[in-house]
């Protein structure tokens, strides 16, 4: 009888442990589903557009976007319509939203080495690669020549008030490694030569100042998708 009681007790504990494991597994799955939903919902949140310079009743003094906003970037007929942030490094806005809060989606941000008024000959802007074309996930499509040719226009408004405006002319795209100095060193000085020789799609020669938009190809890759635009007064 003693042995029988022992095995009955052991079975009960075994059942409890299995049940606890299944409950923990269910909680982990629920958390992952919630986390994915939270990231996606924040990436599609368009409420920030009411703080876009020039929008109805916009007042830069009342905007909750931090003073680290240096511009507003729009690429026509895409989901790219965001404030551009800049900090003293290229780390902060990887996981900080334009309101200064922690966010896995981060922000669109200008390279810390660039002038915030975009007067450099070459300016580089980064953004996370989100699904469904959110943030800079839309850049993938520009590797297709027909798509690029039909999506060549955009606008860059400088500062919180957007008083200075540039038209954008998308003219090239490329898939490059993250360590490519010609693209990711904003002072390299040979970016135009690199575009002419390595662009996957190029519809015209680079002219004047260049704005590059960069994102990851995917989470595990060292490759980057980069779209090049001319800044037009």
Instruction: Spell out the domain ranges in the chain.
Output: 47-232
CB 175 within 8 A of CB 225: yes
- pLDDT number for residue 86: 98
Residue 218 confidence (pLDDT): 67
pLDDT given for residue 117 in this prediction: 96
50: CB partners within 8 A, 6+ apart: 56, 57, 58
Supply the pLDDT for residue 26. 63
pLDDT at position 231 is 96
The whole-number pLDDT of residue 47 equals: 83
Q: What is the DSSP string of 139-195?
A: GGGGGSHHHHHT--EEEEEETTT--EEEEEEEEEEEEEETT-HHHH-TT-S-HHHHH
* Predicted local confidence at residue 217, as pLDDT: 75
pTM, rounded to two decimals: 0.81
Q: What is the pLDDT of residue 20?
A: 73
Low-confidence ranges of the chain (pLDDT < 50): 30-44
CATH number 2.40.260.10 given to 47-232: yes
Burial class (CB in 10 A: 0-12, 13-18, 19+), 144: middle
CA 147 and chain centroid, separation = 20
């Amino acid at each position: 009888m003693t042995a029988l009681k022992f095995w009955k007790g052991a079975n009960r504990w075994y059942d409890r442990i299995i049940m606890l494991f299944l409950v923990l597994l269910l909680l982990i799955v629920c958390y992952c589903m919630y986390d994915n939903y939270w990231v996606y919902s924040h990436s599609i949140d368009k409420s920030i557009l009411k703080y876009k310079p020039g929008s109805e009743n916009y007042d830069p003094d009342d905007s909750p976007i931090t003073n680290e906003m240096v511009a507003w970037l729009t690429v026509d007929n895409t989901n790219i319509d965001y404030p551009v942030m800049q900090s003293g490094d290229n780390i902060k806005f990887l996981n900080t939203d334009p309101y200064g809060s922690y966010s896995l989606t981060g922000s669109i941000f200008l390279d810390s080495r660039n002038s915030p008024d975009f007067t450099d000959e070459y300016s580089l802007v980064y953004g996370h690669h989100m699904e469904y074309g959110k943030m800079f996930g839309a850049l993938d499509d520009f590797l297709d020549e027909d798509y690029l040719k039909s999506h060549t226009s955009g606008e860059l408004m400088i500062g919180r008030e957007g008083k200075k405006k540039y038209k954008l002319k998308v003219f090239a795209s490329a898939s490059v490694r993250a360590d490519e100095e010609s693209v990711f060193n904003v002072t390299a000085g040979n970016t135009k030569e690199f575009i002419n020789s390595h662009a996957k799609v190029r519809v015209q020669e680079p002219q004047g100042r260049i704005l590059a938009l960069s994102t990851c190809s995917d989470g595990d890759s060292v490759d980057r998708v980069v779209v090049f635009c001319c800044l037009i007064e």
